[in-house]
């Protein structure tokens, strides 16, 4: 069946507008994790997928489908996507625009649709590998984590950060093949110790629903799972920690909390147990709760098991004091380990992941009524206000925090940053730009006047370090600490 | 073809065209978001200059291009769009000279070639 030309023309016009909106929204997601933009993308692509099918643009329909897969993977990792993943998405949008524009019934002359789809599938398969490190161990989807854990302790990260800053400067100054090698080293260090932001919300944790229902079915239990998380910008470490904690706490709730239907009936409860995962940012803390209406913690059994293992149990029912015991590695009330539980590692892993990112796990439980786990993690502010300058001979822009204000005083310590950092020197035209904080002032040469801007933290160093790495509009730059420079003379 | 187009320099990213025996766009360094607009402008001007001459092939040398972000890489997509809008006899091909040791180049160029297999040729130089 051939559709009237005006219908096809209208489809083309509307489709191209949709694609433009999606491309703009995607840019907004990457720069500001804009939740409205995420909703818009989902809606527009899904609508375009339906419309393209209706008007017979099967090629557009196919790429839409692949694009939905790409966005699904991006969502799972909180939109902390690699640069080549971003490129795959934007190229898919452009590819679709080309398919929309081509003449009706025309051959795909020069356009390699199967080849393009293969490329997207390759990107998807690699990205899925990255976001599902547990897959290699052949376990259920519920075990998936949103982002691979870096396994670098805060202490090690603190020691590596200044080295990463040095590596960044070496890389920025290098040329040729030497620069290629340093780029790999810098990026490895950056990925290891840098702050990578991600979005957490219902979309990132909803995958646990599927695993929860599968596990309940396996155990002969009936459950209802409700996951509702308010969106917030966090680091990928926090996202990974929450993802892991929810995984273990939900599994724990199903395995140990929710009773079998007959037991629930005997206790005058609905046969279907309820599990709720909720939370969001409250002030500068991200709170997440996992609660169930199951049997609650059998303190007697735990006390007995602790005794068998030579551990001391709290004498009172003070819930917080039980956390240490419940999360003790190897403690389980199961007599034998199964493929679901019994090894006593779940709660330990959940708490360790939360503590690693500076959070706290607490719990309240009432026998016969259920258990409520609460996670609280302080949110890290990632944006810094300040000014950017461009010192000659230094290969990157330099950012000065807003506690230092530009001044015209011309008195104070003058810093030759190029010489200080060991870069080649020469007579480059620049203006001396002065900053002051209280009684302190310092001057730095700049090719341009200081411009107010915002920077995003990338590699954070102790306040005693001269510099750290930030990004300004996505460009890696150097945050300079003038007070440390002045102290060094 | 006595055309001179100013090179784009944004941090360490550089894009420069030359009209010698070979018509060439040479890219080096690592592009960031800020380079996209001037790079697009350069390619638009380059395309206009090429259209004024009789050229069948343009070399795009990215051997020393370490990284190109999505915004800049999409300039190539737009460029292909401009070429396909030309009459078939006036179209020219983009011969990419790439670096086999830089993984993103191979993948991105193969994806790009899917837009117009007859207009994108990929060669390696390292």
Structure tokens at A213: 């229902």
Exposure letters B50-70 (e unless 16+ CB within 10 A, then b): beeeebeebbbbbbbbbbbbb
pLDDT at residue A148 tops 50: no
Query: H helices within A224-266, ranges in order?
Result: 236-252, 261-266
pLDDT at residue A105 tops 90: no
Q: Please give the mean pLDDT across all residues of chain A.
A: 84
Q: Shortest Cα distance from A419 to chain B (angstroms)?
A: 19
Is A180 in the B-facing interface, judged by CB distances under 8 Å? yes
Start-to-end C-alpha separation, chain B: 30
Is A382 in the B-facing interface, judged by CB distances under 8 Å? no
The Cα A472–Cα B4 span in angstroms is 32
pLDDT at residue A94 tops 90: yes
- Asked if residue A28 lies in contact with residue A40, where contact means CB atoms within 8 angstroms, the answer is no
Q: Which helix (H) or strand (E) holds A167?
A: helix A154-173
Q: Which helix (H) or strand (E) holds A222?
A: none
Structure tokens at A343: 């090894």
Architecture category of domain B8-124 in CATH: 2-Layer Sandwich (3.30)
Structure tokens at A59: 């090629």
β B93-98/B57-67 pair status: parallel
What is the structure's pLDDT at A334? 58
The pLDDT confidence band at residue A132, using thresholds 50, 70 and 90, is: very low
What is the percentage of chain A residues whose pLDDT exceeds 90? 46
Q: Residue A384 — φ and ψ, nearest 5°? A: -130, 135
What is the structure's pLDDT at A142? 35
**Contacts from A32-35 at CB under 8 Å and sequence distance 24+?**
A33/A78, A33/A79, A33/A197, A33/A198, A33/A199, A33/A231, A33/A233, A35/A199, A35/A201, A35/A231
What strand order describes the sheet that includes A223-229? A223-229, A273-282, A285-292, A370-378, A360-366
Q: Shortest CB distance from B70 goes to which of A90, A113, A116?
A: A90
Which of chain A's residues have a Cβ under 8 Å away from the Cβ of B66? 179-180, 183
Structure tokens at A60: 């557009």
The Cα A34–Cα A434 span in angstroms is 36
pLDDT (tens digit per residue) in A265-316: 999 999 999 999 999 999 999 999 999 999 998 888 887 777 777 777 776 6
- Asked if residue A373 lies in contact with residue A364, where contact means CB atoms within 8 angstroms, the answer is no
Q: Which of A437-451, A455-469, B75-89 has the lowest mean pLDDT?
A: A437-451
The Cα A242–Cα A202 span in angstroms is 12
Q: Residue A425 — φ and ψ, nearest 5°? A: -115, 165
User: Who wins on pLDDT, A225 or A1?
Assistant: A225
Query: What domains are defined for chain A?
Result: 5-131 (1.20.120.160), 199-378 (3.30.565.10), 383-488 (no CATH)
pLDDT (tens digit per residue) in A64-83: 999 999 999 999 889 988 88
CB–CB contact A86 B117 (8 Å): no
pLDDT (tens digit per residue) in A25-63: 998 898 888 889 999 999 999 999 999 988 889 999 999
Q: Please give the mean pLDDT across all residues of chain B.
A: 89
User: Who wins on pLDDT, A322 or A368?
Assistant: A368
What is the structure's pLDDT at A151? 60
- Asked if residue A195 lies in contact with residue A382, where contact means CB atoms within 8 angstroms, the answer is yes
ipTM of the complex: 0.89
* CA nearest neighbour of A11 among A70, A42, A51: A51
Helix (H/G/I), strand (E/B), else coil: A121: helix
pLDDT at residue A134 tops 80: no
Q: Which helix (H) or strand (E) holds A208?
A: helix A207-218
CB–CB contact A395 B32 (8 Å): no
- Asked if residue A74 lies in contact with residue A81, where contact means CB atoms within 8 angstroms, the answer is yes
What is the percentage of chain B residues whose pLDDT exceeds 70? 97
The Cα A381–Cα A429 span in angstroms is 36
Which bin fits A358, alpha (ψ -120 to 50), beta or left (φ > 0)?
left
β A413-415/B13-19 pair status: unpaired
Q: Which helix (H) or strand (E) holds B106?
A: helix B103-113
What is the structure's pLDDT at A281? 93
pLDDT at residue A135 tops 50: no
Q: Which of A141-150, A187-196, A236-245 has the lowest mean pLDDT?
A: A141-150
Helix (H/G/I), strand (E/B), else coil: A132: coil
A85, closest residue in chain B (CA to CA): B70
* CA nearest neighbour of B123 among B22, B11, B48: B22
pLDDT at residue A149 tops 60: no
What is the structure's pLDDT at A158? 85
The Cα A346–Cα A317 span in angstroms is 22
pLDDT (tens digit per residue) in B34-90: 788 999 999 999 999 999 888 899 999 999 888 888 889 999 999 999 998 898 889
B120, closest residue in chain A (CA to CA): A110
Is A172 in the B-facing interface, judged by CB distances under 8 Å? yes
What is the structure's pLDDT at A212? 93
Q: Which of A221-225, A327-331, A355-359, A470-474 has the lowest mean pLDDT?
A: A327-331
The Cα A382–Cα A468 span in angstroms is 13
Q: What is the mean pLDDT of residues A96-107?
A: 76
Residue that is written with structure tokens 């006593």 in the block: A344
Q: What is the mean pLDDT of residues A222-239?
A: 93
User: Who wins on pLDDT, B95 or A413?
Assistant: B95
pLDDT (tens digit per residue) in A158-186: 889 999 999 999 888 887 667 777 887 88
The pLDDT confidence band at residue A147, using thresholds 50, 70 and 90, is: very low
What is the structure's pLDDT at A145? 35
Start-to-end C-alpha separation, chain A: 81
Q: Shortest Cα distance from B21 to chain A (angstroms)?
A: 25
Structure tokens at A255: 């395995």
CB–CB contact A110 B66 (8 Å): no
Structure tokens at A210: 């599927």
Which of chain B's residues have a Cβ under 8 Å away from the Cβ of A173? none
The alpha carbon of A412 is separated from its chain's Cα centroid by a whole number of angstroms, namely 42
pLDDT at residue A338 tops 70: no
Query: Which pTM was predicted?
Result: 0.73
The Cα A270–Cα A250 span in angstroms is 19
What strand order describes the sheet that includes B23-30? B8-10, B13-19, B23-30, B57-67, B93-98, B120-124
């Amino acid at each position: 069946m051939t559709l009237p030309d005006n219908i096809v023309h209208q489809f083309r016009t509307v489709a191209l507008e949709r694609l433009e909106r999606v491309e703009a929204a995607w840019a907004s997601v990457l720069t500001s994790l804009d939740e409205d933009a995420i909703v818009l993308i989902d809606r527009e692509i899904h609508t375009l997928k339906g419309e393209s099918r209706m008007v017979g643009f099967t090629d557009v329909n196919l790429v839409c489908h692949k694009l939905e897969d790409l966005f699904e993977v991006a969502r799972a990792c909180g939109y902390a996507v690699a640069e080549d993943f971003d490129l795959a998405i934007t190229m898919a949008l452009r590819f679709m625009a080309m398919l929309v524009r081509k003449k009706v019934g025309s051959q795909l002359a020069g356009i390699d649709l199967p080849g393009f789809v293969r490329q997207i599938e390759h990107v998807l398969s690699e990205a899925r590998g990255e976001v599902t490190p547990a897959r290699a161990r052949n376990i259920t989807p519920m075990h998936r984590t949103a982002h691979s854990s870096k396994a670098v302790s805060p202490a090690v990260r603190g020691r590596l950060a200044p080295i990463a800053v040095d590596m960044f400067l070496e890389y920025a100054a290098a040329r040729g093949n030497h620069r290629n090698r340093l780029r790999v080293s810098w990026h490895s260090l950056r990925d290891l110790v840098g702050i990578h932001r991600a979005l957490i919300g219902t979309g990132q944790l909803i995958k646990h629903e599927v695993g929860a229902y599968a596990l309940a079915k396996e155990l002969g239990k009936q459950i209802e799972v409700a996951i509702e998380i308010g969106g917030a910008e966090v680091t990928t470490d926090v996202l990974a920690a929450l993802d892991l904690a929810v995984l273990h706490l939900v599994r724990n709730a199903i395995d140990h909390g929710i009773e079998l239907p007959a037991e629930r009936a005997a206790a005058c409860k609905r046969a279907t147990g309820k599990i709720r995962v909720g939370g969001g940012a409250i002030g500068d803390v991200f709170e997440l709760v996992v609660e169930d209406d199951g049997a609650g913690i059998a303190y007697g059994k735990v006390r007995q098991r602790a005794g068998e293992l030579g551990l001391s149990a709290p004498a009172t029912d003070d819930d917080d004091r039980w956390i240490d015991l419940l999360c003790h590695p190897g403690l389980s009330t199961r007599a034998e380990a199964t493929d679901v539980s019994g090894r006593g590692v779940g709660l330990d892993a959940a708490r360790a992941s939360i503590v690693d990112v500076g959070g706290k796990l607490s719990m309240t439980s009432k026998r016969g009524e259920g258990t409520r786990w609460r996670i609280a993690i302080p949110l890290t502010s990632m944006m810094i206000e300040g000014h950017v300058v461009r010192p000659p001979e230094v290969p990157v822009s330099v950012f000065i925090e807003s506690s230092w204000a530009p001044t015209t005083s011309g008195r104070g310590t003058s810093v030759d940053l190029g010489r200080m950092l060991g870069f080649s020197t020469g007579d480059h035209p620049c203006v001396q730009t002065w900053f002051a904080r209280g009684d302190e002032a310092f001057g730095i040469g700049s090719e341009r006047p200081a411009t107010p801007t915002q920077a995003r933290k990338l590699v954070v160093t102790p306040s005693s370090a001269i510099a750290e790495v930030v990004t300004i509009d996505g460009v890696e730059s150097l945050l300079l600490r003038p007070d440390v420079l002045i102290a060094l003379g | 073809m006595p055309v001179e187009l100013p090179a784009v320099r944004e941090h360490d990213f550089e894009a420069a065209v030359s009209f010698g025996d070979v018509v060439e766009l040479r890219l080096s360094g690592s592009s960031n978001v800020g380079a996209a607009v001037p790079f697009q402008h350069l390619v638009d001007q380059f395309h206009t200059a090429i259209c004024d001459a009789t050229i069948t092939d343009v070399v795009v040398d990215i051997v020393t291009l370490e990284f190109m972000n999505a915004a800049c890489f999409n300039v190539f997509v737009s460029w292909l769009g401009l070429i396909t809008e030309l009459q078939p006899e006036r179209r020219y091909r983009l011969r990419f000279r790439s670096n086999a040791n830089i993984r993103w180049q191979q993948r991105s160029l193969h994806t790009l070639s899917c837009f117009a297999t007859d207009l994108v040729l990929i060669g390696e130089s390292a």
